[in-house]
Structure 1
Amino acid sequence: MHNQNWDDLRFVLAVAEEGSVSAAARRLRVNHATVLRRVAAFEDRIGLQLFERTSSGYVVPPDHRRVIDAAREAAAAINAVDRVAQGVEMRLTGTLCLTSTDTFCQTVLPPICRELTAEGEALCVEMSCTNAHLDLARMEADITVRPTMRLPDGLIGERAGALGLAAYGPASAPTRDWLGLRGPLERSRVAEIMETTKPGPVRAAADSFIILRETVAQGLGNAILPHVLAAGDPRLDRLDRPDMALEIPIWVASHADIGGSARLRAFRSRIVSGLLARAERLGPR
């Protein structure tokens, strides 16, 4: 078992103890496909199909239970090492690469970064602002903060409240025209709402909620916007469209291969706390 990825043990043990992939995924706060992939990788490396796939779940045959016992002992030893090292790794030092959308980067993340750097010792936070999902598997970022209905395959993380959105229009010149979505926003829940409601003619479009807000303010059309951007803006009026009000979970996540480290868990915990402290500003109104 050379070059064993020991983090796979968490997934194997979760399936063995929960009896199903779905229950293991809920326990580990990852998706179903991630658990399947990690269990399959472990089985390939040891050259043994560890589980019997039955209609009632995943079962460990009696002659394979020794493997699970050994895995449990190995996991306990690894956790002991982690606890010893945690005092060093938990310090907020070094460089943290953080990516998020333009909405978050221009509203709540700068003060959260200020809090991190005030607490951290020689910490540098590098922020990447993009509405496209970076490939965390290629280490383009350590942590991503994203509003999404579910985490993509391969990411692990924690939920940090919800992003509230609703329909807004120009305060100075009410219009029946609407603004559309382009780029990554075309694959968002907001795009699904627009497609379902078909509110009216689309006169312009953008790939950024910040651009959409400014375009609404110019009177070109109405748009579904995050409250954190639109509420309180005197140039905008919230429209009486309850069918367009929605909330999207906010996730603070890392790639599964690195996200279990004590250092990234510590950073994610701080960022989650910062977002929850601003839940009223971000959430549904």
Structure 2
Amino acid sequence: MNKENWDDIRYVLAVRRHGSLNAAATALNVTHATVLRRVAAFEQRHACHLFGKATSGYAPRPETQQIFAAMEDVENAVLALDRTIAGADRSPVGKVRIASTDSLCQIVLPGILRRISERFPGLDFTLLSNNTHHDLTRLTADIVVRPSPGLDGGLTGLKAGALRFAVYHDGTPGQKWLALQGALDKSKPAQWMADNIAPASIISGADSFLVLRQMAAEGAGRTFLPTFVGDAEPRLQRDPETPPGMTVPLWVAMLEEIAHTPRFTLVRDQLLARLKPLFAAERT
């Protein structure tokens, strides 16, 4: 198959999936006229008529079902070839999207990525900050740096150490607790609070350890924080009665399907090498 045939198939499949020329053009980032021309070229080359006009847009003709199935087979083969070629590329060049928590993204990872970029200038990093877990099966990120008891969702990874948590406050006696909300309400400290702190002793809170740090520094209450977050705020002090064993493994992980892609494995190994000295003392 020549390149022109494959390009035309891309346009035909886009019309089928999106139901109109305009929607297909938007998805492909081209003009309406380009889509119309490429579909017409395919139909003329193969002496077939693929679509009928309906009130909702373009609909495949009933007799074209096998044609479209064959087109999808071609598309899957081409995409599989692209993935194989990408996986065989040994040069550390290209985009790498790294997802992590807002705390790690703001305090730890920028400096690490700068040093990796200096050593491997062909890498182009995007840092995705979110306390909710990225679904890598939808390719929202390539690598995650995640504090978690374990890995799921087809992920494979290595431990970079562990996050240790402690209780912090500004020294004001008798303070109530700040709630760990949103994605943080599933964390190990939040589970301990649910088991050990009366609801009447918990007041307003936040869904970010960075925000909780600021609230505690302003005297709003006491809160759990990762020690790398809390120790960086001079207005706060650790509570010596923090529950023991309050640690969570820190993983550097990616999907098994891309685990052997050279630039991803290189970045994973670089991240591990630079995170371990920071969190090794807190490793579980």
Q: TM-score range by the shorter chain?
A: 0.5 to 0.7
Question: Which residue does 1:12 correspond to in 2?
Answer: none
Offset at residue 247 of structure 1 (A): 1.1
C-alpha separation between the residues in 2 aligned to 1:135 and 1:148?
Answer: 14
1:85-234 alignment to 2 at 5 Å? 88-89=89-90, 91-171=91-171, 173-198=172-197, 201-234=201-234
State the AA in 1 paired with 2:166.
Answer: A
Q: Distance in 2 between matches of 1:154 and 1:116?
A: 26
Gap runs ≥5 in structure 2 = 1-83
* TM-aligned CA deviation for residue 232 of structure 1: 4.5
- Cα distance in 2 for partners of 1:92, 1:242 equals 44
Whether the 8 Å contact between 1:193 and 1:244 is mirrored in structure 2 is: no
Give the alignment's TM-score, normalised by structure 1: 0.65
CA gap of 1:245–1:219, structure 2 versus 1, over 3 A, is: farther
Choose 159-168 or 113-122, whichever is displaced more. Answer: 113-122
Considering only aligned residues, what root-mean-square deviation do their CA atoms show, in Å? 2.0
Report the residue type matching 2:274 in the other structure. Answer: G
> 1:245 Cα shift?
5.3
Range with greater deviation from structure 2 (256-265 or 203-212): 256-265
Contact kept? 1:103, 1:209, Cα under 8 Å: yes
Quote how far apart the aligned CAs of 1:244 are: 5.7
1:115 alignment partner, SS class: helix
Mapped partners of 2:174, 2:124: distance in 1? 45
TM-score (norm 2): 0.65
- Residues of 1 paired with 2:117 and 2:181: CA distance? 35
Equivalents in 2 of 1:211, 1:121: separation in Å?
34
Amino acid in the other structure paired with 1:175: G
Residue of structure 1 equivalent to 2:31? none
User: Which residue identity is paired with 1:229?
Assistant: V
Distance change (3 Å), C-alpha of 1:109 and 1:133: same
Structure 1 residue matching 2:193: 3-state secondary structure:
helix
State how far apart, in whole Å, the 1-side matches of 2:154 and 2:116 are: 26
Identity, in percent, stands at 33
Matched positions, count: 197
Q: Which moved more, 1:182-191 or 1:221-230?
A: 182-191
Question: Aligned-pair distance for 1:127?
Answer: 0.6
In structure 1, the gaps of 5 or more residues are 1-81
Contact (CA 8 Å) 1:95, 1:124: kept in 2 or not?
A: yes
- In the aligned structure 2, how far is the partner of 1:127 from the partner of 1:258? 18
- Compute the displacement of 1:114 (Å): 0.6
Shift of 1:229: 0.9
Change (3 A) 1:273 1:116: same
Deviation for aligned residue 1:197: 2.0
- Runs (4 or more) in structure 1 with deviation over 3 Å come to none
**Larger Rg computed on CA atoms:** 2
What secondary structure does 1:242 align onto? coil
**1: CA distance, partners of 2:136 / 2:153:** 11
Query: Residue 99 of structure 1 contacts residue 130 of structure 1 at CA under 8 Å; is this kept in 2?
Result: yes
Specify the code of the residue in structure 2 equivalent to 1:119. R
